[in-house]
Structures are given as C-alpha cells and as structure tokens.
Amino acid sequence: MVTRAVLIAAAASGQGKTTVTAALARKLVRAGRRVRVFKCGPDFIDPMVLARACGAPVESLDLWMVGAERCRALLAEAAQQADAILVEGVMGLYDGTPSAADLSREFGLPVLAVIDAGAMAQTAGALVHGLRAYGPVDMAGVVANRIASPGHAAMVAASLRDIPLLGTLPKQAAALPERHLGLVLPDEVEGLDDLLDTLADQLTLDLAAWDALPEAHIAAPAAAAPACNADGAALPLAGARIAIARDAAFMFLYPSNLATLQALGAQLAYFSPLADQPVPGDATAVYLPGGYPELHGAALAAGQRWQASLRTAHADGLPIVAECGGMMALAATLQDKEGQEWPMAGLLPGKVTMQARLAGLGAQAMPTAHGPLRGHTFHYSRLETAQPAAATTQKNPSGAAGEAVYRLGSLQASYFHGYFPSNPAAVAAMFTRSAA
C-alpha cells in the first residue's frame, strides 16, 4: 500500500492548523482515500473534531508523553491501513520540548506548513524558508490560509520558490468555534459535518502534487510485552469492572487510556452524571475523567443519584480516580464563570472556582510506587482546599513542582491527566482495591 504522511505545522498557534487538517482530511476522504489523522501533543478536543473529519479515531503522538516506541507503532499500524496520514502539530513548529519538529525528524514526516497569508504576500516565502532552514526539517509544501484572490495566491506561490503551494483556503465566513479549553465539542456544533464539507470544498488542493509526495516508510518497533505475566498469570485487572463517567461534562478521554484498561483485563461500563445515572452496582472501581463540569453546574447539582452513588462507592472503599473536571465534580462546591456556586458530590473538601486566567498547562509526570505516570495538565479553575497534597507531579522538562495529587481513602484526585500507556503497572494499581 502507498501511504503519504505529513506533519501539518505552522509558525504559531491560531494560524489555522486544525481547520486545514480537518479540511484536508475530509477532502481526501471524499476523494476515496483512506485517511488516518493524529494530533501532536496532549489534546482532547481537536482529536474529536478531526475524528469527525476523517471517520476514524484520532490518537495523540508525543515523544515524551506517548514515547517514541509507541508513536512508531501507532504510525506503522496506520500506514498499513491508510493511503494518507495527517499529523496535526501543536503550537509553533519548534515550540515545546519535545516539539512538533522533533517528531517530524524522528519519523521522517515531511512538514506541510500552514501560513496565515491574510496580511502578507511575498513575505510568505521568507517565513516558510525560515521554518525549513531553522531545524532543519523536510518541507513537503504549503497550504496558505485566508487567501483573498487568485492573484494573491499566485504571489504567495511565486515567493515559495522551490517549495510547492499544495493548497489554499479563503477567508472563512464560518469557522470552528472555540471556548476556554480550545474548540467547542463536536456534538455542540450544529451542522458540523456541513461545515467540514464546506471547508473541504473551499480547500483548493493540488492532488497531483499530493500524490507526488514521497511514500512514508515507518517500520514497526519490536513487539510490545504482553499485558500478562510470562508464566501465564492473570491480567492485573482481570475481573475488574470499571465505571467511567462519560457525557458532555466528562469526555476528555484518550482512546489509548480505555484500550490500556481493557488490555489489563478490565471490563468497562459507562454512566452519565448529567443524566443523574448512578455508578453501576457491579462496579469495582470508578474513573471520572476531565471535561466541562463548569458548563453543567445546574444539572450536576440537581443530580442526587450520581452524587449519592459516588459517596457510597467511596465509603465502600472502591478505587476512585478523578482527573481535572472529574475532581471538580467531587469538590464541595463549584463556582462557574458567572459566579454561580453549585453544590457537588463533596468527596473532596473545598471549593472550585473558574477564572479567566490559565491556571495550569504543560506536560507533567505523577510519581507512583511503579515509577512515573506521564501526562499533562490544562485548566482554568483553581481548587481551594484544606486537604494536604499526598504527592505532587513534576513538570517536564524543568522538574519543577506541578499539580497536587490528593488521596482520601480510596479516592485519588488531581488536575493531572494521566496517559495510561506510559505506565500500565501504575494504572493497574490505581484501579485495584488493595492498592487504593
């Protein structure tokens, strides 16, 4: 199978990377291509939109959080299934440690540069040549965003010299809407598929130039170790049934986290706090992922069954793992951006308050008895609590103190989002009653 793979990057955030990636994915799918999309760096919302655009799950790639070996395995698997692999970068091409450029060089992914040409013409060439030379990176071509006219596109194309202009997008009358943690969730956008189709229609793509790109050659790594012991002992979570909150308030879930729990032997069951569904009675552990509880304060506060079921689970000693929004819903109260205060489940003493300023961002690792669990943090709220932290995450790469990790009985709560494949043994312990 012939597969083309590119890393879609830009000089900075806000240049249109997600819009271009979504439009290109949808255009290639409509052209009959099998497309797989990945997102560089920690992210939950962009992958949901990109999954709608290409019709397949979107995994994260990150040399630190995910690890080079797993990244290679994910890319190699996609190369066996798809004609096109699109990897959306994060921030600017060289921003972060590791950066999107580091990922490009590690796996030989040529860069497809997105430039916001709305306020420039020939300077586009200087920008793109600088992006190519600084690393350096292999530059596959350019997609120019916010092009005003065919003449504008011609000036940009001429300025690129030996770098092809593979596509252009005009200024968009309708764009993918955003809120404080990024894009609005796909199910909240009325007519999202129509918008994606419109973007695909507006994207002019030189399909012949795309097909002339070099083939991707991504070799699979050595086979990973099995999840069970070599002597055939049971999987660490065999017999476990983990109840996972999943609805519009709790949806920040890496597909790989769910796959890791299943690979460890657990069965997964889902419940909706927004619908006031209780924790399933046969659950042996509970997972409350992040999300937007602050947007659903009234419904969550009115839900007595889900709150009571969590208090009962905690009293019974069931392991409860709460990340970011999941932790916010377990505080005594949650104050939204409008200043309205809502009572929550109350397993964790204290008050959560939304704020306009970003409170936490970046890659971090949580210490455990089985070594560090890698992940990240991204939140606009703060928790005021008298509960002392049982541990503190470490920021990458500085090693500075990061997020507090609270442990009350069988509850573990933090703003930290763990990436479970980075340490399956630690994850198994988190969801095991004896360890909790």
Helices (H), 273-406: 297-302, 304-315, 325-328
Rg (CA), the chain: 23
Contact 405, 372 (CB under 8 A): no
The amino acid at 382: R
User: Which H/E stretch holds residue 209?
Assistant: helix 207-211
Catalytic residues: 324
Are 214 and 58 within 8 A, CB to CB? Answer: no
Residue 412's nearest CA partner among 386, 380, 385, 435 is 435
CB 141 within 8 A of CB 209: yes
First-last CA distance in the chain: 47
- Which position has the token pair 């083309």? 4
Buried b (16+ CB within 10 A) or exposed e, 263-285: bbbbeeeebebbebbbbbeebbb
What is the rounded distance in angstroms from the CA atom of residue 382 to the CA atom of residue 403?
11
What does the alpha-carbon distance between residue 3 and residue 83 come to, in Å, rounded to a whole number?
4
Nearest one of 318, 344, 322, 283 to 410, comparing CA atoms: 318
- Closest by CA to 7, choosing from 93, 67, 135, is 93
Q: Residue 7 and residue 107: Cα distance in Å, rounded?
A: 10
8 A C-beta contact, residue 29 and residue 35:
yes
At residue 246, the 3 state secondary structure works out as coil
Distance CA 245, CA 344 (A): 15
Q: Which residues contact 109 (CB under 8 A, 6 or more apart)?
A: 5, 6, 7, 87, 103, 216
